[in-house]
Amino acid sequence: MTEMTIDPRALRDAFGAFPTGVTVVTTRDAEGRPIGFTANSFTSVSLDPPMLLVCLARTSRNFATMTGTHRFAVNVLSENQKDVSNTFARPVEDRFAAVSWSDAPSGAPVFDDVAAWFDCALDSVLEAGDHVILLGRITAFGNSGRNGLGYARGGYFTPRLAGRAVSAASEGQLDVGAVVERNGDILLIGDETLSLPACEVLDGDPATALIGHLEEVTGLSITVGFLYSVFEDKAGGRQHIVYRAFASDGVPRSGAFHAPASLGGRTFDTASTEDIVNRFALESSIGNFGVYVGDESAGRVHAISMKGA
Ligand SMILES: Cc1cc2nc3c(=O)[nH]c(=O)nc-3n(C[C@H](O)[C@H](O)[C@H](O)COP(=O)(O)O)c2cc1C
């Protein structure tokens, strides 16, 4: 039997189909300085004795400290902590400047406003290919009842954002559109002036209406993913929902796929489209997608900076 050749990039994408929460694992180094990194490989392991695990890449700058420590904490991020997740995933000088935190009983940092936290004694470090498994024995924990932050296919999702989409769908006139991706490129309609594919939804489920519209416009098969943006165009009195979507191979009937980096200086139909395309360009460069909620001028973008490493 011939073995399948595994493409690591494709494998990572397939792993990304499994929705997870997001944690930040923390400890202190030999000088007592707090260190921490974002991890979605957290898994509960055992109730008796109480145990959990998290996988750490061998490439981590803090590999020696994390595997040599006796104590660590796992912070389960809440739905408003996307920026914390991004900070602890990037090579930021002082990651802890971005959060309010205090000491768990072990001295490992625990953040304010997390969904839950676990203080652990390091039980063992198990070899696991290009990662190690940190197996922790839980010595203390807290559970705030806040919703956890979700992560799947390189994007964050939150229960509250899904709720906003539902209420947007029930309030007034609704446009639903998509950032349609294929191999990192984005589908835009038009030659001189570029727009996102979108349609008006009069009734029914917005995502179902969107798939029908996108398949008709492109002639391709479309999968709709998580929400990308929910905003209100106050001037036009319309609600807008933008999803991420993924297109099959083939030449689209209308529009064309563009590399995000090639779109500088192009003209867009609205400032909102331009913002969304710029965000897509930035976020696709670090493989990490944020979520925008607000109106067309004063929304809250969970800003994500470029990953330097
Ligand atoms: C949502 C998300 C989940 C991540 N999960 C893990 C993980 O489980 N294990 C890991 O080693 N890195 C993970 N990373 C990558 C690290 O957070 C990132 O490489 C970080 O820069 C490591 O920091 P360090 O080198 O200071 O340890 C994840 C990143 C993101 C954005």
How much is the pLDDT for 286? 52
Query: How far, in whole angstroms, is CA 58 from its chain's centroid?
Result: 22
Kindly list the distances between the CA atom of residue 184 and the CA atoms of 149, 164, 226, 242, 255, in Å, as whole numbers in the listed order: 24, 27, 16, 17, 16
- Summarize pLDDT for 18-45 with one digit per residue, the tens: 999 999 999 999 999 999 999 999 999 9
At residue 174, what are phi and psi to the nearest 5 degrees? -125, 130
User: Model's pTM, two decimal places?
Assistant: 0.72
Residue ranges in the chain modelled with pLDDT below 50: 288-309
DSSP secondary structure letter of residue 33 = -
Gap between the Cα atoms of 26 and 22, Å rounded: 13
Which residue out of 38, 76, 83, 285 has the highest number of ligand 1 atoms within 8 Å of its CB and is therefore the one to mutate? 38
Q: Are 185 and 249 in contact (CB under 8 A)?
A: no
Q: Residue whose CA is closest, atom 20 of ligand 1?
A: 89
How much is the pLDDT for 71? 97
Residue 274: burial class (beta carbons within 10 Å; 0-12, 13-18, 19+): middle
* Residue type (1 letter), 44: S
- Summarize pLDDT for 86-113 with one digit per residue, the tens: 899 988 889 999 899 999 999 999 999 9
How much is the pLDDT for 83? 86
At residue 24, what are phi and psi to the nearest 5 degrees? -120, 125
Which residue out of 23, 37, 66 has the highest number of ligand 1 atoms within 8 Å of its CB and is therefore the one to mutate? 37
Decide: 89 in ligand 1 pocket, CB within 6 A: yes
How much is the pLDDT for 301? 40
Decide: 41 in ligand 1 pocket, CB within 6 A: yes
- CATH class of the domain whose range is 157-305: alpha beta
Number of other CB atoms surrounding residue 179 within 10 Å: 24
Decide: 37 in ligand 1 pocket, CB within 6 A: yes
- Summarize pLDDT for 202-219 with one digit per residue, the tens: 877 888 889 999 999 999
Gap between the Cα atoms of 7 and 134, Å rounded: 26
Sign of the Cα torsion 2, 7, 10, 16 reads: positive
DSSP 3-state assignment of 12?
helix
Phi-psi group of 265: left, alpha or beta (phi > 0 → left; psi -120 to 50 → alpha; rest → beta): left
Domain residue ranges in the chain: 8-152, 157-305
How much is the pLDDT for 91? 84
Instruction: State whether CATH 2.30.110.10 applies to domain 8-152.
Output: yes
How much is the pLDDT for 247? 94
* Residue type (1 letter), 63: F
DSSP secondary structure letter of residue 181 = E
Q: Residue whose CA is closest, atom 16 of ligand 1?
A: 89
Q: Are 104 and 117 in contact (CB under 8 A)?
A: yes
Q: Are 56 and 66 in contact (CB under 8 A)?
A: yes
Gap between the Cα atoms of 306 and 309, Å rounded: 9
